[in-house]
Structure 1
Amino acid sequence: MKFDDFLKLINDWGKFQKIKYTIICLTYMLPAIMVYTYSFTAATPNFRCRNPLQWLNDSYSTTSNSIFNEEYRPTKEQCLSNKKSISLKECQRCFIRSTSINNQSIDDTLKSCQSYVFDRQYYKETLTEKWTMVCNRVSYRSWVQMIFFVGYMVGSILFGILADKYGRRPIMSVSFILMSFSGLLCTFAPQQYFGFWPSYIIFILARFLLACSTRGISVSGFVLASEIVGPKKRLLTGIVIEYFFAFGQMILLIFAYFIRSWRILTLSIALFTVPYIFFYFILPESPRWLISKGRFDEGEKILRHIAKINNRVFNNDAYKKLKDEQIKNMSEKNHQQGIRSLFQSKIMTFISINLFFQWLVQNLIFYGISQSTGSWQLNPYLSFGVSAFVELLSYIFVHLILDRIGRKIPYVCFLILFCIVSILILPIEYLMEKDGKSQLLLLNIINGTLKFLSAGSYAIIYIYANELFPTNVRNTGMGICSMVARIGAIIGTYSNDNLTRLWIHLPILFYGSVSIIAALLALIFPETLNQPLPQTVDDVEKMNLINIRIYRSKRLFNDNIQLNEQSVERFTNYINPQFDNNENQYNKEQVVRL
């Protein structure tokens, strides 16, 4: 008996599952908050070079800007002549020209700014201003977020393996504690009397730990949520949990809108995580994981509790069959655990590597688009809010179609459409009036559409991967996917901060080109709609790959014959019960060949 079959007997979407799933969803708001906090604490306001003649009294205002532009801002010709490697906007806000007493340019040489003034319209104080992380120092800003995604990478594989070894519940609890600690460290570590480098290094390390804890919560929580329900509710649990990721962004927006100082904002969010530490006492352990590990008494205890809460009778005979089947699976030589199981056969290897690449691409385009809302032609708070709302709409749309169409077709379509929409940037940029209202409107529509498509495909691959990995290495597989995906997030962060210095739309075209490659490779995956979660690698192999013929090992073929021997016997007896044993044997051989 499969676990899903037993779960149906005690209700796979009863009162117990609904309560515990809601609790898990609440924890899923934290990853979104932690990922995007840096978009506000290290936001880059409008800025320009400081006026040499008004060094102490200069400010970013209409009058001061007008005076500075007339006397010191480089002209278009000077930028094209001396700074061809960067955009005109970047040149004019990062360099200053020399002038004589009569305000005439004495040469075409441009000098790097030594100090800057920042716009105070939206932010009271940010880390970008505090550490001057602009122009030739923009890499300092990029490195903080890239190290954060390295922490994502380490946390994904580390906590993924630990969760498969020690359980989902304890790893999530440790992650809550680590998140609160690292959040407070981010708040108080950067101090002026420490100097730049000590403050910067401690802050980076704190963000690294914060990222590790984030993955311990999100990966383990997502897997736990999917393992306490049956196949028919797996889409619901996979998508609704993503709703809370969008809700987390909206909660962050509320914090950021009313708290404009980076340090107070960071402290407020760190304190917000403290109550989650006590979730250890109300989170359940995955009974599916306990049984896969042979911890049958603990699994039975939880399943009995589920049956009691759901007002169902616990079937002892059915549980004994489930237990006996799992013992048989664990005794087989091919029952392996750990990373090696992901590469145990050709089919499993291909699925694993393909999923790794899909996750890399999804994180590249999703975080690349999500972290670029500051470039939208809107108020930064409005841009972030619109982005979060569009993401929520995308999850709702995915929720409505996946159970009707499946996983593969929507996923591939989202990727292809992303590529097409990104290419539309070119005619809008070159055929329409520069910075005209129509152009800005269309560019914002494209940005919103790209966010919709990237969020949708990201949500689908999360569900898809979870349904393709077997139970005994599901957390490990998801962890490695998430680890590899951070390479994509790092590339996306680098692209937003550096490729935009060459051309503001260059990152989007880059994201579109990789999305079409991912779409072609995704066509190989099997469909998992309404299929039970695979318990072992053999269960995954039985799904087969679409349009690719991969020969299974002789061992697997023989195992399948043995597993079907009894059903074949019954079938041959049914179609020809009067035949003797020799004829029945002949019929069995024919059926096996079929």
Structure 2
Amino acid sequence: MKFDTFLATVGDWGRFQKVKYTIICLTYMLPPIMVYTYTFTAAQPNFRCQNPELMSLDSYNESFNKFFDSKYKPTENQCLNQKKSISLKECERCYMQPSVEFHARSSQSNRQLEPCNKFVFEKVDYEKTLVEEWSLVCGHVPYRSAVQMFFFGGYMVGSIFFGVLADKYGRRPIMSVSFILMSLSGFLSAFGPQAALGFWPSYIIFILARFLLACSTRGISVSGFVLGSEIVGPSKRLLTGIVIEYFFAFGQLLLVCFAYFIRTWRSLTWAISLFTVPFIFFYFILPESPRWLVSKGRFDDAEKVLRYIALKNKRDFDQSAFEQMKEEQEKNMSHEQHQEGIKILFKSRIMFFISINLFFQWLVQNLVFYGVSQSTGTWNLNPYLSFTISALVELLAYAVVQLILDRIGRKLPYISFAILFSFVAFLILPIQKYMTKDSNAQVTLLNIINSTLKFLASGSYAIIYIYANELFPTNVRNTGMGICSMVARIGAIIGTFCNDSLTRIWIHLPVFLYGIVSLVAAILALTFPETLNRPLPQTVADVEQMGLRCFPSHSVESTITVDQALPGNSEEDISKRDLQRHDIADNNLLRKDLHKTKTNVIQISINSSLIVFPISFP
């Protein structure tokens, strides 16, 4: 008996699952808060070079800006001649021309631009950010990017490290350790950097704290997602997967509330860290995955959890059915493939191809999703409004995914979202070329495109999360998801680099790149099997029975293993059953042929060929 079949007997979506799943969903608000906090703490306000005549008295407002522009702002010709590698806007705010008196004998076009050492920042949307405190603009932009790259590096390490640990020691203890690490690293981020320490010590402390913070988010999000899907049956897998994604968007909305009222980076970081402390006590109310306990052979512990589920759901516990499931699981555990751990993801051709393809899909979707999500500052809107719209659009995408995935499947919607993303991203080119620059029509259309891209990126991101969870077998599901998440951080790192560096060349260049890779991912996803209405695979053999479009069907059948020690499974018994099936098939075909002889001679010859070549697996 399969685990899903037994789970249905104790209630696969009863009161127990609903309550515990709600708790898991609440924990899923923390990862997006930690990811996107940097959007506000390291936001880049409008800025320009500091006026050397005013120094500390200078500020970013209309009157001071006009005074600076009249004497020091580079002209368009100067930027085009001397700073061709960066955009005009970047040149105008990162370089300045020496005073007229200094170059009295030189024409304006011949004056050599000088890089700015000090800057003044606009105070409309933010009181103080890390970018302002550490001057992380112009030539120092890589320092800003490095923080987020190290953060996603922590994602990589945390994904594989906590993924493997969760498969070895359980989902519940790893999530609990992650809560503690998240709180500690959050407070270190808030109070570690100090002006008295200087830039480099503060910068290193902040990077280290963000790295540990990222590690903790993976222990929560990956383990929480897997745990939520493993305590329910197949009919509720889509619901549990999508609702968790809803809470990912709710976390963003909660963050924007914090950021709107707390506009200094240190206070915001401290407040969010304080918010994580109560989650440490979730250890006492989170359940352990009974599916994981069964996969590890801890049947006594699994029986306790399942009996408790049956009690809370007011169901009877079927001891004989449990023993039948236990017997089948013990048989599966005796197979060599069950004991090879991570190696089984790459041993067979089909599992290898599925694993590698999923890794690539996650890389692309994280590149696209985080690339688009972290670029809301370029939407030509109030940053808090644009971030809120982005989160609401994400919620809408999850609602649409929930409506279509159980009707259409996983494969077609995923490919459709990815292809549509590419098409919309490529629309940037004609809009940029044929519409008046910075006109109301162009700005409005670009904002619509940005919102559409966020919708499509969120949809494909949600689907691949569910899709991968349904393709990995139970005994290495957390490990497989962890590796996917680890590889995906490479995409997130690339997205961060593109948003910070490539925009200095052309502001829409990153989006165009995202469109190209999304199209490639859609093409490769054509090879995946459909998982709609199929039970979660327990073993690699279960995965391989799903098949792949790029492999012939016999390769799938050849991976099915049979325990010959069980009655009726010896080679002799199997051969006899095959012969009986073939004889029955031959007789049926023969009767059919003789009947059709009276009406159609051509049809006889077709059916006779079927008698000569009987089907091996009817």
TM-score range, shorter chain: over 0.9
Quote the offset at 1:193 in angstroms: 0.5
Counterpart for residue 383 of structure 1 = 386
Contact 2:225 2:244 in 1 (8 A): yes
- Choose the corresponding residue for 1:432, options 431, 435, 450: 435
Counterpart for residue 582 of structure 1 = none
Quote the offset at 1:344 in angstroms: 1.9
Contact 1:568 1:592 in 2 (8 A): no
> How do 1:275-290 residues align onto structure 2 when only pairs under 5 Å count?
275-290=278-293
Task: Tell me, in whole angstroms, the C-alpha distance in 1 between the residues paired with 2:60 and 2:251.
Answer: 33
Counterpart for residue 23 of structure 2 = 23
Stretch moving more, 221-230 or 547-556? 547-556
Contact 1:359 1:461 in 2 (8 A): yes
Quote the offset at 1:84 in angstroms: 0.2
- Choose the corresponding residue for 1:370, options 368, 373, 377: 373
Task: Tell me, in whole angstroms, the C-alpha distance in 2 between the residues paired with 1:58 and 1:334.
Answer: 69
Contact 1:346 1:550 in 2 (8 A): no
Quote the offset at 1:69 in angstroms: 1.0
Counterpart for residue 71 of structure 1 = 71
Number of residue equivalences: 585
2:301 is the alignment partner of 1:270? no
- Choose the corresponding residue for 2:555, options 552, 555, 563: 552
Quote the offset at 1:70 in angstroms: 1.3
Task: Tell me, in whole angstroms, the C-alpha distance in 2 between the residues paired with 1:570 and 1:109.
Answer: 87
- 1:192-234 deviation line (CA, Å, top 9, x unaligned): 0000000000100000000000000000000000000011100
Quote the offset at 1:338 in angstroms: 1.9
Task: Tell me, in whole angstroms, the C-alpha distance in 2 between the residues paired with 1:483 and 1:241.
Answer: 20
Contact 2:498 2:510 in 1 (8 A): yes
Q: Which runs of 4+ in 1 moved over 6 A?
A: 563-568, 573-577
Q: Which residue identity is paired with 1:42? A: A
- 1:399-451 deviation line (CA, Å, top 9, x unaligned): 00000000000000000000000010011111011100000000000000000
Task: Tell me, in whole angstroms, the C-alpha distance in 1 between the residues paired with 2:262 and 2:574.
Answer: 68
Q: Which residue identity is paired with 1:32? A: P
Secondary structure, aligned partner of 2:339: coil
Secondary structure, aligned partner of 1:117: strand
Pair 1:28–1:321, CA change in 2 (3 A): same
Pair 1:442–1:284, CA change in 2 (3 A): same
Task: Tell me, in whole angstroms, the C-alpha distance in 1 between the residues paired with 2:278 and 2:554.
Answer: 52
Counterpart for residue 475 of structure 1 = 478
Counterpart for residue 51 of structure 1 = 51
Contact 1:220 1:475 in 2 (8 A): yes
Task: Tell me, in whole angstroms, the C-alpha distance in 2 between the residues paired with 1:556 and 1:387.
Answer: 45
Secondary structure, aligned partner of 2:562: helix
Counterpart for residue 133 of structure 2 = 130
Stretch moving more, 285-294 or 326-335? 326-335
Contact 2:545 2:557 in 1 (8 A): no
2:40 is the alignment partner of 1:40? yes
Counterpart for residue 159 of structure 1 = 162
Task: Tell me, in whole angstroms, the C-alpha distance in 2 between the residues paired with 1:510 and 1:389.
Answer: 25
Counterpart for residue 238 of structure 2 = 235
Q: Which residue identity is paired with 2:98? A: S
Task: Tell me, in whole angstroms, the C-alpha distance in 2 between the residues paired with 1:315 and 1:213.
Answer: 39
Quote the offset at 1:332 in angstroms: 1.9
2:449 is the alignment partner of 1:485? no
Counterpart for residue 253 of structure 1 = 256
Task: Tell me, in whole angstroms, the C-alpha distance in 2 between the residues paired with 1:49 and 1:388.
Answer: 34
2:499 is the alignment partner of 1:525? no
Pair 1:560–1:360, CA change in 2 (3 A): farther
2:517 is the alignment partner of 1:536? no
Contact 1:99 1:105 in 2 (8 A): no
> How do 1:149-548 residues align onto structure 2 when only pairs under 5 Å count?
149-548=152-551
Contact 1:366 1:451 in 2 (8 A): yes
Stretch moving more, 105-114 or 520-529? 105-114
- 1:64-99 deviation line (CA, Å, top 9, x unaligned): 001111111101110000000000000000000123
Q: CA RMSD in A?
A: 2.2
Contact 1:180 1:270 in 2 (8 A): yes
Q: Which residue identity is paired with 2:489? A: R
Secondary structure, aligned partner of 2:113: strand
Counterpart for residue 60 of structure 1 = 60
Contact 2:541 2:560 in 1 (8 A): no
Task: Tell me, in whole angstroms, the C-alpha distance in 2 between the residues paired with 1:365 and 1:566.
Answer: 51
Quote the offset at 1:570 in angstroms: 11
Quote the offset at 1:556 in angstroms: 2.8
Secondary structure, aligned partner of 1:48: strand
Task: Tell me, in whole angstroms, the C-alpha distance in 1 between the residues paired with 2:99 and 2:549.
Answer: 69
TM-score normalised according to structure 1 size? 0.95
Counterpart for residue 584 of structure 1 = none
Pair 1:505–1:226, CA change in 2 (3 A): same
Secondary structure, aligned partner of 2:86: coil
Quote the offset at 1:573 in angstroms: 8.6
Percentage of pairs with the same residue = 65
- Structure 1: runs of 5+ lacking an equivalent: 580-586
- Higher-Rg structure is 2
Quote the offset at 1:331 in angstroms: 1.2
Contact 2:426 2:515 in 1 (8 A): yes
- 1:454-513 deviation line (CA, Å, top 9, x unaligned): 000000000000000000000000000000000000000000000000000000000000
Quote the offset at 1:178 in angstroms: 0.1
Task: Tell me, in whole angstroms, the C-alpha distance in 1 between the residues paired with 2:159 and 2:360.
Answer: 15
2:124 is the alignment partner of 1:121? yes
Quote the offset at 1:299 in angstroms: 0.1
Q: Which residue identity is paired with 2:498? A: S
TM-score normalised according to structure 2 size? 0.91
Pair 1:554–1:8, CA change in 2 (3 A): closer
- 1:115-134 deviation line (CA, Å, top 9, x unaligned): 00000001000000111100
Pair 1:142–1:346, CA change in 2 (3 A): same
